[in-house]
A and B are shown apart, each in its own frame.
Chain A
Amino acid sequence: MIPSYYEFLNSVKIISGFKALEHIPSELQNLGGKRPLLITNDFLIKIGLVKTVLDAFGQCDITIGAIYDSVPPDSSVKVVNEASKIYRENKCDSIIAVGGGSVIDTAKGLSILITEDTDDLIKFMGAEILTKKRAVPFIVIPTTAGTGSEVTLVAVIANPERNVKMEFVSYNLLPDVAVLDPRMTKSLPPKMTASTGMDALTHAIEAYTCIQKNPLSDAYAFAAIKIIGENIISAVEDGENEIVRLAMANASLMAGAAFSNSMVGMVHAIGHACGGVSHIPHGDAMNILLPYCMEYNIEAVGDLYGEILLPLCGVEVYASTPKDERGKKCIEAVRQLQIKLRNLSGLTLSLKEAGVKEKDLPNIANTALNDGALIMNPKEADFNDIMEILKEAY
């Protein structure tokens, strides 16, 4: 069904494949960058991934202006300001982010500071408020196959001083280039591969079933689910396999493009709250909550879960399942996939196991109510509904 109205933008150039990193210098030159600031974290330096990126700049006309390697697991205004200081002190002219969601959010925050020529991010909070076109070339190299942040229009940056979780939603945050190179995700341990992969699956499933869905986001989501269905187990079993890693990186990116244009729903609203209150990793929260939220939403999504049974499980399963049972079968397939992943990698399947305290559940539910993603969910959910889901997932 065609929505009565929708908008879609994915302006990011995608370069994907073997030796993709080596193409970055020429991409940067095309964008007019000569002295990039490289934003990353110390762990990625330690395991040698940043060196792999730096080596790709050999024999070319580009100088790395500086490296900012102090991005913590959750980005904050202090981090963005520090990065900004280093950017200016070293006369950098472009940004390269190497990392996961937090590194990429930091880079997006920095791009706002540079473009708006300001040192105060808080003024620019909101949705579609940034009107100035980004004034700095911006390249992203994701090191997990999950967040999809390399193609999304969102950044979340904490402001602990004012006790605000700052949200920025703007097409101007989309990077210029996203670089998918299998070397970047090869060293992800099996459990992380599994949970970040389930995060990507959640992006695709929510994008396909929430109220902002449109034909273009559907196409991205559908394709992402197919690749994840075909590759996630192999990626966990055989992390060294570069073809499988590249496939998962592509799926994650496509799921990101899908949800950048069809915002995620309650799995993320509740999952963000689990992260905020109980500090459990985002992928773990997604994985745990996904089937429970699907069960909650199934009556509101019509045939949509049934439709994605096809890319998730393949034509045999789809064809042999009667039409009106496909939705339920899809949820069952998600659960089966989780059990396989758990056996292979020790993926956590309950909130309790993930370290959430039972007394925190009401606080999580209250926090989830104020997450913007909840608006996009196909079915309304109040405090009691969310508590029910949390208790089931506990």
Chain B
Amino acid sequence: MKDKNIVPKSKKIKSFFARVILYFLGRAFVASAKHDIYVKKEIENWPDSLKILIKIQSFGPCLLMKKEKGTLKYLGSKEEDCEFAVYFKNIETALLVLTGRLGIDMAYAQHRFSMKGDIIAFGMPFVRCLYIVEAHLFPSFIAKKILKRMPKKGTSSFKIYMGTLFGI
């Protein structure tokens, strides 16, 4: 037996892939908060300067967002102390969710992530926003698989795509 510490190999490619998806997810959230009336309504009651974090344990990547002047701002892939945070327990299951193979409700039911903060004030509205963002981003055959029911969209998905890609 070798007597040195065994450090399992890092998952660099998957981690990079997750970082890219989180980047676009963040921008899609921002675009939805700007254009989609239902997302706008959901975040209406959140206090200004509320920070939301999605992190994949143990080493990231992250998605940090902040509510500012009634809308959302993307702050990049950094970790900060937040009022509300979602921590995926590992990269593999985070990718299932991020690539539309596992719905957020099933992921919660399966204990795939932990949640810090006020579930009622932030958690539930966040989940409903995510439903809408997913309905915009994913093709409908994927969205239908992971959503119990297609949520109402408050704007065209084209607008969300343009917002996500070009920030308009």
Contact = CB atoms under 8 A, between A and B. Distances in A.
B116 A125 contact: yes
B5 interface: no
A126 B116 contact: yes
A376 B109 contact: yes
A164 B123 CA distance: 13
A125 B110 contact: no
Interface residues of A, number: 28
B109 A263 contact: yes
Contacts of A6: 110
Given A5-B110, A211-B109, A127 B115 contact: yes
A10 to B, nearest CB: 15
Nearest to A379: B148
A164 B112 CA distance: 25
B114 A129 contact: yes
A212 interface: yes
Contacts of B106: 211
Given A129-B114, A211-B105, A375-B105, A369 B119 contact: no
Contacts of B124: 369-372, 374-375
Given A212-B109, A263-B109, A129 B116 contact: yes
B149 interface: yes
Q: Size band of the B side of the interface? A: 20 to 34
A39 B110 CA distance: 34
Contacts of B127: 375
Contacts, number: 66
B166 to A, nearest CB: 32
Nearest to B45: A370
B1 interface: no
B125 interface: yes
B121 A164 contact: yes
Interface string B100-120: 000001101111101111111
Contact of A376 (B105, B117, B123): B105
A76 to B, nearest CB: 15
A128 interface: yes
A372 B123 contact: yes
A372 B121 CA distance: 10
Contact of A165 (B115, B120, B148): B120
A380 interface: yes
A262 to B, nearest CB: 8
A93 interface: no
B115 to A, nearest CB: 4
B43 to A, nearest CB: 13
Contacts of B108: 127, 375
A129 B110 contact: no
A125 B148 CA distance: 27
A322 to B, nearest CB: 29
A298 to B, nearest CB: 15
A7 interface: yes
Contact of A370 (B105, B111, B125, B148): B125
A370 B114 contact: no
Interface in A283-328: 300
Contacts of A129: 114-116
B148 A380 contact: yes
Nearest to A210: B109
Contacts of B115: 126-129
Contacts of B105: 211, 375-376
Nearest to A163: B121
Contacts of A128: 111, 114-115
Contacts of A126: 114-117, 119
26 contacts: A3-B110, A5-B112, A7-B110, A7-B111, A125-B116, A125-B117, A125-B118, A125-B119, A126-B115, A127-B108, A128-B114, A164-B121, A167-B119, A211-B106, A263-B109, A369-B124, A370-B120, A370-B125, A371-B124, A372-B120, A372-B123, A375-B105, A375-B108, A375-B124, A376-B109, A380-B147
Interface of B: 105-106, 108-112, 114-121, 123-125, 127, 147-149
Given A4-B110, A126-B114, A211-B106, 7 more contacts: A126-B116, A164-B118, A164-B120, A167-B118, A167-B119, A263-B109, A300-B148
Interface of A: 3-7, 125-129, 164-167, 211-212, 263, 300, 369-372, 374-376, 378-380
